[in-house]
Chain A
Amino acid sequence: MRGGLLHLLLPLFFALSVLLGPYGIVNPFAHGLGSFVIELRILRALSAALVGVALSASGSGLQVLLKNPLADPYILGVSSGAALGVLAAVAAGLIWPLEISIAALAGGLAALFVVMAVSSALGLTSVSMILVGVAASYALSSIDMVLMMDLGPAVQGSLAWLFGTVAYVLWSELAYAAPLMIAGALWIFLRAGHLESLMLGDDVAESMGVRTRRLRAEIAVASALSTSAAVAVAGPVGFVGLVAPWLARLGSGGAFRRTYPLSLSLGASLTVAADLASRFVQPGGMAPLTSITALMGAPVLVYLLARLRR
């Protein structure tokens, strides 16, 4: 099967991510401080992988659903909503990681609720969802900016949640967010057949027994659930949800049912690799995840497109 080998990237990057870091190479079965470092790295790698899965699941679903190759998990306003949640929490003095994470989840879901409500009133078509989503993103971002100016220096300490990192994930956060991320990804997988019918057009899908309005709502909710949970864990990590579905399509091709699992695995690999790289870009510091996912994902995407043209 074409692209099957690409699945091996995930265990490879996962292993590297557990073995390498600023602390140096650590025996995975070490005791004492070494075991803390290993635990920290496993937690980071696991979070990054789940975030990658959630974002590429959401991106894959939305690109098909909205018939838009540029759709990404944040097209329905989830990331600006989550950022608003984080900033509002910090402004209200809720500063513990779990509080911030739940605020992000709530903000993301609230934004989706508003977008879905408004676009249902407008007929719940692809165009209405995209336009309302983009409008909501801009509106929410403007509130985010006001809050950021208002919060002053506290914003600098919240950047981790605004730019994306898995360095501060706690097991307790992963414990509630992981089921949401996995559930969202599974839900979209269960609707893979319907999504394939939808690719043939709304009328054809309807004639095949797919209730398109309901499908739109389901996919939107499933993707928002996994995206919001991903944002709650790592902040709004960008580009993965856009590029992973494309990498899967260009890397293996074929029906949605075929490319979907590969896109999840590639999304996870990309995020784990980006987190690994983020430990080394700046000596003694970390780069935000989004900067690395974009830096690493963009050249690969261009390369695959160029190869396709030849």
Chain B
Amino acid sequence: MRRTAASSIAISILIVAVVVAASAAYTGYQMSLYSAQVSALSSEVRSLNVTIASQQQAIESQLGGLSSQQSALQSQLSELRSSMEFPASAVDATGQQIVVYSMPTRIVSLMPSDTAIIFAVGAGSQVVGVDQYSNWPPYLSSLEANGTIKDIGSGWYPDPEVILSTRPDIVFGVSSVPSNYALKQQFASYGIPVVLLPDNTIEDVIQSIYTVGKLTGHEATAQVLAENVTTELRFAEDNVVGLNSTPTALIVWPSPIWVAGNGTWEDQMITAAGGSNVFSNVSGWEPVDPEALLVEKPQVIIYTAGHGEFNYTEFMSTLYQELGPAANSVPAIANGRVYAVTGTYNDWLTEPGPFVGDGTILLSVLIHPEAYGMNYTAIPHVVSPETFSLPVPSSLPVISTPEYVPAVSSP
């Protein structure tokens, strides 16, 4: 019986072992099945991921294509808009009605003030030639270096053939230079309009901005620019309103001394800035004897020092040599209110361009620092963007450097 019991135990153990083994084998089998499934699934997931990524890429590239299409459409639209403005016509300083039938794409400018106006209204990418003295916007020199814009030499004494070699469709000059009139008549027979912009007064400058805007297809920008210039002028005038007008000498060329007299835009700027031009008795731009400073006794002397050509110390020592000890009888010299305006600020006072408003603000600060809560001792003798920033609120519109968008080449 014991044997039977023992064998039955053994059998049952065996059965249990078999069952366990079988179940273990079964489980192992199941496990291997699962892991195969898992790996199949995970590879599926991976391939799905790849598909999603590639789809995403495709969508993204489609989106990019769409957005580039959109910008192309937009530029086409703006081109269409500006071409809608043609034929455009305007009257230049000679009274001639200038008609431009399509948007000019090859503009030549003969004067720095014209160049500045053309770029400021947004027609910079249509320019193919400028005179050698044009220096704004700052990237102009690199455009000349890479051949986008040709330097046509002096605009006072331009070579007609050099201008023709730029294949211009319109040329901008000024009404104060006789050779520009000769060019206008020569080019008239070739069907190339030469627009002479008026350049004597501030009103002339505003008028020029409108004329350039209209004839180059940028009327809206020109409108904004003209309004900004006017706002700047008004800002200066409002700041000095009610203040005594200070006798001021504006010397536009220091050696020998040339001053801006009556009938010049500089004279208007001095008046708007709360000064009285001590040389309003001379007409236009004239050389004066340094002794005239002893007679007129300006309280402020401002001279345009170019881009560093006319050193302040040299200018002062020349004045002392020429006038002797009497120099100190001139209030501006005695009080140290002689200012050398240089760098970009120099151009504001020497070009009848879009910066006449900024120039007037600068003059108003130099003539009436008290209107800006400053003492004149706080102003350096050499006034440039590096040494002195204008105390103006950020709300004031500024004439900023225009963006240069290369012309879209038509297919």
Interface residues in chain A, defined as those with a beta carbon under 8 Å from any beta carbon in chain B: 21-24, 33, 36-37, 40-41, 90, 95-97, 100, 149-154, 156-161, 165, 167-168, 170, 279, 282-286
Contacts and interface: CB of A to CB of B under 8 A. Distances in A.
Contact of A285 (B153, B165, B287): B153
B160 A167 contact: yes
B181 A97 contact: yes
A23 B186 contact: no
Q: Interface of chain B, helix or strand or loop or mixed?
A: mixed
B286 A150 contact: yes
B47 to A, nearest CB: 64
B157 A152 contact: no
Given A23-B165, A153-B285, A154-B284, 8 more contacts: A22-B161, A22-B162, A23-B161, A157-B176, A160-B182, A167-B160, A168-B186, A279-B159
B161 A159 contact: no
B180 interface: yes
Interface residues of B, number: 30
A41 B161 contact: yes
6 contacts: A23-B161, A90-B178, A100-B178, A152-B285, A157-B177, A167-B160
Contacts of B177: 154, 156-157
B43 interface: no
B49 interface: no
> Which among A153, A154, A168 has the highest number of chain B CB atoms within 10 Å?
A168
B36 to A, nearest CB: 80
Interface of B: 132, 151-154, 156-157, 159-162, 164-165, 167, 176-183, 185-186, 190, 258, 284-287
B176 A23 contact: no
Given A40-B161, A97-B181, A149-B286, A33 B132 contact: no
A154 B286 CA distance: 11
Pairs A-B, 8 closest by C-beta atoms: A284-B153, A168-B182, A157-B177, A285-B153, A152-B285, A23-B165, A97-B182, A36-B190
B159 A286 contact: yes
A160 B161 contact: no
B164 A156 contact: no
Contacts of A96: 181, 185
Contacts of B167: 33
Given A22-B165, A159-B156, A284 B176 contact: no
B164 A33 contact: yes
Contacts of B151: 284
Given A160-B179, A168-B183, A152 B164 contact: no
Nearest to B174: A157
A31 to B, nearest CB: 12
Contacts of A160: 157, 178-179, 182
Nearest to B180: A157
Contacts of A36: 164, 190
B161 A21 contact: yes
> Which among B180, B186, B258, B287 has the highest number of chain A CB atoms within 10 Å?
B186
B161 A284 contact: no
Contacts of B154: 285
B178 A95 contact: yes
A64 to B, nearest CB: 36
